[in-house]
Chains A and B, each alone.
Chain A
Amino acid sequence: MASASRKRLTWSLPLELGLGLLLALPAGMAALGLTQEGYLSDLHAAYLAKVYLALDRGRLEFLGFSYPPLPLLLLFPWPSPWAPPVLGTVLLGLGFALVLAEAKRRAGILPLVLLGGFLLSPWPIHLLAQDFAQVLGLVLLWWAWTLYLRWLEEGLSFFLFASGLVLSLAVYATPFALPLGVLFALGIGLLRRVEPRAWAAASLVLLFPLLFTTLAWAYLGWLFTGGGIFLYRALPQETPPLGEVFLASPAYLAGGLFLLARLRPGLLLYLAPLLVLLALPPLGFGYTLPMATALLLLFALGGLPPLAPKPHLLGAALLVALLQALAGWALLKPLNPPPDPMERAIGQTLAQAPPRSTLADDRESYRLLAWAGTARPFVLPADAGFLLALSAPQAYVSRLLVCQGSGALQPRYGQGTPPGFREEWRYKGCRLLRRPGEPP
């Protein structure tokens, strides 16, 4: 039976890639459909606003060395509201291809069944539409983990090297890479019989690039912004209760029970993401339900030992996959596009204003900036004249865009109107103030 499955699972790499992309396509189409209807997540809007600013001013440091940086850099060649779902779809396809490749290597059909449950649920659409950085982070974490597992199995230093490099890249997409890397390093001594010195050296090889890239980004942040606590920015602060995460992760729970019943040493590593989910919120690192669920699913897919697909196992896997799909439908709120296309239209209108004519703060008005598609008309906190324009707008700009949020304009002009300006329009907590006589 095992040999039969092995025979069936002999795909070539381009085929896996093609299959992966094909599997990601439905979720990608749905996410693109949402964008077409005017849906843009807060995170995607924030990324785009930063990228427009850096591109328009020609200064990379105007990113403010935001975290995570890798998604921002990926948006550089094509900054557009369409880019996150498209990039996310490609990344998701790549991730599926890596899962297929791993399943092929291990000649295991069960991970594919579990993946099916994930595919039949709204999890992928949520990940793509809300934050493609999460997809990127998950793909890199999966890749790093499978490489790490291969090093544990085969002992070739290349795999540890590659795992370290991929983890170091992953930390630029998700903060999960950091604690997971540390847990991987700890796991070496538990999962592979090595002398303490070899354990320490292997940990160094695994963690050096990860720590270095983290510190390098901190250094760049300090160099250009003077601040060092970059990891705390742009991360979700609200975290779903752990019970809800468990409820959403039947595949992970089933895998854990299976390992527990067989007392496999891999169980120790299997618990790593759980530890991370428990440890991060008290430290101020939040995560979303789709991210947590997908992370646990990855460990469920990779943590299971190669098993012959006996009928009872296959039946159990099918049941778990079904539960996984149902959990998605039950727990995730549907993503609804805005009822009208006003936000996009306003953004596009703002884009028509003359260069540096509109004082705004991208911490407040990033959504409108994202729809505008350019930072050229705006004077923003990164610009040298921002503070002057803020104190005496009538002398420097002809418009003020004030939105609710933690920016500098809201406290000063949230309610009132500076001399020489009058309110042009008001939309969902944002106001445009314009000097009379200036072209609309």
Chain B
Amino acid sequence: MTQSPAAAALPSSDAGDSRALARSVGVNQFRLNPFRVLGVPVDVEASKALWRAEKLLTRARAGLPPAEASALPWLSGADELEVQQAAQKMEEPLRRLSEQLLWFDFGLDPRGEELKRALTGPDPVALAAYRSLRDEDLQALVPEVPDEGAADMKAVTERLVKLLAHRANQANLRLVLAFSAMYGLGPSSEDGGARAGGGPVLSWEQREGLRVVVDPHALFGADGKGAAWQAELTEALARWSALLQDSWFPTFLGYQITRLGDDLVSADDCEPLIAALRTRLADLVVGEMKQRLMGGFADEARALSRIASGSGLEPQVWTLAFRPLRSLFRAELAQLDTLVDESHPVHLNDVSLYLDRLDALNASWREIDSKQLLGLAVLIDEAVLRAFDRVRTLDFPLTGIGAVNAVLAEARRVANSESVKERIAAFRSRLEGRKDELCHYCRKREQDFEYAAMLSGRVETGRSHGFNSTTVHYRIRSLPILRCASCAKLHDYLASMGNWAVGAAAVTFALAVVLFAGSGGLLWGVLLAGLVGLGFRMLLGTVVTPRREHSYSDYSGSKAHQLLSEEGYGQLQYDYSLHAWKVAAGRQQ
């Protein structure tokens, strides 16, 4: 007989923390269940439940404890107000039914009496025995009914109702054991067990002169310390999920409603009750998750998130249940807001830092919310958009586009949703496009139209033949190559140096003619003069043009060249003088 894992619950981080226990929604679901508080069976009449409550209250007010022990003795008792509230729950039929579903029907369950004794004892051995029961084990107690048509439906229904009652008990048992184990509570084991032993067995090893525990995270992390309640809770939710999807569950619920005999509830309430139960189960998990998040127990919060996403309950249920937790995460995000706050000037570095922090948060939140039930990715995207909007309001020159785009690339990377990524990408590409407004040559400074270089081309448009002549018609087009004032002045300087180059070439020619007179001096003169002239300017152009900038003569990558080429213009003429634009404009006029 295997011992219940919960019976050997390891002390949780909250063991002995009575405040945390008092806040536990999971534990309180069972501790304050009215059937437990009043010590009555689920089929008790409302009046008798009320009388029981009156007696309990009378005793409580006089300082007397209840006369009988209640089930789940490891959970504390109820105070006067809680007894009153329990009595009231019994008088509200829908509320009563909701509580009933998350309690134990000892009467309807064929093995209910065993469970009752085990829970009241408590008797871990008997609990383990009950836990290990399967549906097949109940067949002996629930006789088969011959399948002979509608006449036997009542018997079939009764049989199924008992089976479902047993299944519900099994699910609830695991639920209460899981929540109890979260706080280091539960039925203690006869052989002492891990709980009495006070902790996990540690194994030590010697490492570089130090004694270290082997893999402590496995013992105290999600796979070790928390494994017991996590496995229990996972199974509880899986069982409940299966029950809720069982086509006979509404019939089971209808049976409960009929048994209650209160005309304020009817079969029409089955669906709302089922929905309420789903919501309640989700709320229990979310409530515990909130406790863990606020206590800083991220591992356990992640575990609960995993359990939630794998539970089989519909995602919509979890989305709604988790929504209130968003404020916790929003508060965490809000601490970063000062970096991008609109109330004070913000630098690009601030935004970059903000994005770094967001990235770190995003990574840790992804572990908590891998299935997007909490909607944390949406919060990150909202924050990314705040950063994005802030960048858009920054005043930066065109030369700063590179740095801005680098930050935006980071923002795009951090964003989770495609729409946000696309939006940032679109903006980035438009910013890149603004680079065309930079000087074609240096790509650093803004253009100044007044200093544009000019590229002209001509294209033949036709020929007209006269008497003895042919006229060729051309269209000439001049387009500016936009450059900054600095590059224009440099180019002008180079142009002026061209005169010096001519002079140098002339001197070289003369020298060559003289030196090589009689042996092709003219030819040598022309050759050398050309080399000197060309080389002089090229050398000068290369020397004075900064690295990674286009040389004065490099118009081939410009838009003007591209356009002229596309439109078939040839015989290009290139004017890179200082006032080339004005000259061209003057010509046009």
* A and B part of one assembly: no
Identify the B interface with A (CB < 8 A).
Answer: none
